[in-house]
Every structure is written in C-alpha cells, then in structure tokens.
C-alpha cells in the first residue's frame, strides 16, 4: 500500500490515506517521491480559494522522485532514455490542449482553459496524482526531465515553483547587459528573480523586502543593495531606489511581493521608458490607486503581467541550476522538511510565513 496526504475538503485537516500500489498503463511511470513542495498555492487550495478543485485531492505539484517502475520505453525531451533508478522531475501542468484559441492563435498556453495540473486538477479518486504521497503516478505524456547528476534533489526542490516562475518573469523583463534591476519581494520568487536577473546581465541588483534574514540571504547571493520595508516607508523606498540609480529609477523592476500596493510603488521605482514586471499578484489582494499620466503615459513605461509557466521555463530552470547551482545554493531556501504526518503543520507554517520554503519528504 502507498500512503498519501489527502485534502478532503477546504479548511479541514488533511488525512493520511492508503492507496493500492498502482498498475501502469503503457507509457506510464511510477515515481518514489523524494521531495514535494508546499507552496502558497497549497494554502489557497486549503482555504478553498481556487474554483473548480475536485476535492478530495492529493496536493503537491512540484516534485522530485526516483523512477520505481516504467511501462515500456520512455524518453525525456532531450531524447535521453528514462530508466528505473533515475532521479527525475516533471512539469506539473502536464497537459495543455493544443486545440484552443489561446494555445493555437495567441500561443499563450498559460491561459489555456483546459490545463491539467498535478496536485490541483485531479481528484484523489483518479490516482496518485499529487506529490504529498510516497509514490506519484506519471500518466503517459507527462513531460519528464532527468535531473543532472550535479543537482541534488534538495537543491531542485529548494528552487521549487518559485524558480521557473521567476525565470518566466525575468524572461519577460528583457534585461540587457549593464541594467539596474529592482526586485520587490524576498520570498522564493523574489530571491530566485534576484539570482536570475544577475545571470541575465543585470549589473546592479536592489532587493526590497523583509525580514532582514531574507535580505541578508539576498546579499549573500550577490545583490548590491537591499531595502528593508520594515524600516522604510513607501515614499522613502522610492527615494532610496532613485538615489542608487543616478536619480532615474531602475531600468527594470520585478514585482514579486504579493502586496498590491507594491504595484504602484514599483511603477515609481522604475525609470522613464523602463520596464515593470508584475508576477507577484497571484491572488486578489484588492484594488490600488495609480496615476495614469505620471505612472504610465508620461513615464513611457512598459508593464508586463506574467502568469504561470510553461514547459520551457521549467526546462530552462533545470539548465540554470545545473550550471550555477554551486554558486547559488537554492537548497538554502528550504527552511524545514516535513514528513507526511506533518503536512498540516507544514501548511500552517507556510500560511504564517514562518518559513521561506517548506518541503514534504514522505
């Protein structure tokens, strides 16, 4: 039997249930779970804030595991044959429809209405389709990536979903060699964005966030300056950014804070004709006020909302980690590892922002 944590319905404690060892259809793969992430989305799931979730579910969308069994020949996207014992990860959004207007005409697969996502869109009745479980069943066609030998599973899960999300944001930012970049927020997305902005050519990095512990981590990761929001008010923060950037504001600002007021503030931290990326407004935090004349039009500002990721961001994240993992230790973002029996504690700690990142080790 296989043990898994089941979210039976919103706002109730999760239960540990046992499932039979699954049989594999052709092309399917069974993973022994090594790590599964606990992220803000799981808190939203637990609070019942996402529509259309087929409770009961097994949460856990970003995962790393070891192949236990495999039905037939399978290859990863680079053409490497997958074999028992391989340590792999896989894209949580395992299917977009490739048939709707957003997939085909807009080529914006993150807006495909038919996405299928491990840990979110599947009922526990449909199988082991989430990572808070001893085993994960990979349906045929799930996009598997073999973990390079120099990426320990702890490091991969430390990057978690924050890393590819940040990669998508940084890609949108179009950073040029020599740019100055502000990152608003020092959570997993913000810290990964600060790393990736440097790796994309930014020559001045300013992180605006809190608490000091996270800002110290940012400084260790090579950022040039930090601004603690517990010590400086909004106007002062904008002024500090301007002082650090020859009075102009940053070439690029990346909002990864989750606070809606950071959007107005970020516009004002960015230089005229600069670029502002909004990636942290994952849930509805309410309305804010802007001045269209000063903040957008006269400023000649470019603003880009960034939603979700596609497989390319996931794949590129693995490449980046394989190249730069010894320089940027993503495993340090993991504050604590929890057993399956501790999932409720893990969720509570993430909800209370007690940890940068929590992971489940079944």
Residue appearing with tokens 């300013």: 206
Rounded alpha-carbon distances, angstroms, from residue 9 to 5, 55, 134, 262, 297: 12, 6, 21, 33, 46
- For a copy of itself, the binding residue among 44, 66, 111, 242 (CB under 8 A) is 111
CA distances from 35 to 146, 152, 188, 247 (A): 15, 11, 17, 45
Q: Is the dihedral of CA 7, 8, 13, 18 positive or negative?
A: negative
Per rule CB under 8 A, is residue 99 in the interface with a copy of itself? Answer: yes
Question: What's the CA gap between 224 and 208, in Å, rounded?
Answer: 11
Site for a copy of itself contains 281 (CB under 8 A): yes
One symbol per residue from 12 to 51: x for binding a copy of itself (CB under 8 A), - otherwise; what is it? ----------------------------------------
One of 41, 96, 133, 186 touching a copy of itself (CB under 8 A)? 96
Q: Does 329 engage in binding with a copy of itself (CB under 8 A)?
A: no
Q: How many residues are listed for the chain in this entry?
A: 362
Instruction: Judge contact between 360 and 58, C-beta under 8 A.
Output: no
Interface residue with a copy of itself among 170, 206, 208, 226 (CB under 8 A) is: 170
Residue 118 to residue 58: CA distance in whole angstroms: 9
**What part of residues 248-267 is at the interface with a copy of itself (CB under 8 A)?**
248, 260, 263
Beta carbons of 195 and 328 less than 8 angstroms apart: yes
Q: Which of 185, 190, 280, 362 binds a copy of itself (CB under 8 A)?
A: 280
Near a copy of itself in 124-143, by CB under 8 A: 141, 143
Of the candidate residues 3, 17, 66, 304, the single one contacting a copy of itself (CB under 8 A) = 304
Stretch binding a copy of itself (CB under 8 A), from 16-24, 121-129, 153-161, 196-204: 196-204
Q: How many residues bind a copy of itself (CB under 8 A)?
A: 79
Task: Give least dist CB 73 to a copy of itself, A.
Answer: 14
């Amino acid at each position: 039997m296989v043990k898994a944590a089941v979210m039976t319905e919103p706002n109730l404690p999760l239960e540990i249930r046992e499932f039979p060892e699954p049989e594999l259809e052709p092309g399917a793969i069974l993973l022994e779970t090594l790590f599964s992430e606990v992220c803000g989305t799981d808190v939203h799931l637990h609070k019942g804030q996402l529509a259309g979730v087929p409770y009961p579910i097994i949460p856990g969308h970003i995962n790393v595991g070891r192949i236990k069994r495999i039905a037939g020949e399978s290859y990863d996207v680079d053409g490497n044959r997958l074999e028992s014992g391989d340590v792999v990860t896989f894209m949580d959004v395992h299917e977009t429809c490739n048939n709707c207007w957003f997939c085909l005409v807009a080529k914006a697969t993150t807006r495909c209405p038919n996405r299928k996502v491990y840990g979110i869109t599947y009922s526990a009745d449909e199988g082991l389709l989430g990572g808070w479980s001893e085993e994960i069943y990979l349906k045929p066609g799930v996009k598997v990536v073999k973990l390079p030998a120099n990426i320990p599973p702890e490091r991969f899960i430390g990057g978690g979903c924050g890393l590819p999300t940040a990669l998508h944001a940084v890609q949108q930012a179009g950073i040029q060699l020599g740019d100055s970049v502000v990152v608003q927020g020092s959570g997993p997305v913000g810290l990964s964005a600060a790393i990736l902005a440097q790796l994309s050519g930014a020559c001045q990095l300013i992180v605006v966030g809190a608490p000091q512990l996270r800002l110290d981590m940012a400084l260790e990761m090579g950022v040039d300056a930090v601004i603690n929001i517990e010590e400086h008010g909004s106007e002062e923060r904008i002024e500090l950014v301007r002082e650090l950037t020859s009075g102009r504001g940053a070439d690029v600002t990346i909002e990864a804070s989750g606070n809606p007021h950071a959007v107005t503030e970020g516009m004002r931290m960015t230089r005229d004709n600069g670029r502002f990326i909004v990636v942290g407004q994952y849930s509805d935090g309410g309305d804010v006020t802007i001045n269209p004349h000063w903040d957008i039009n006269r400023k000649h500002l470019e603003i880009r909302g960034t939603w979700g990721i596609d497989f390319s961001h996931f794949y590129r994240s693995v490449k980046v980690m394989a190249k730069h993992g010894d320089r940027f230790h993503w495993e340090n973002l993991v504050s604590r590892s929890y057993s399956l029996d501790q999932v409720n504690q893990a969720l509570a700690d993430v909800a209370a922002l007690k940890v940068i990142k929590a992971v489940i080790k079944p």
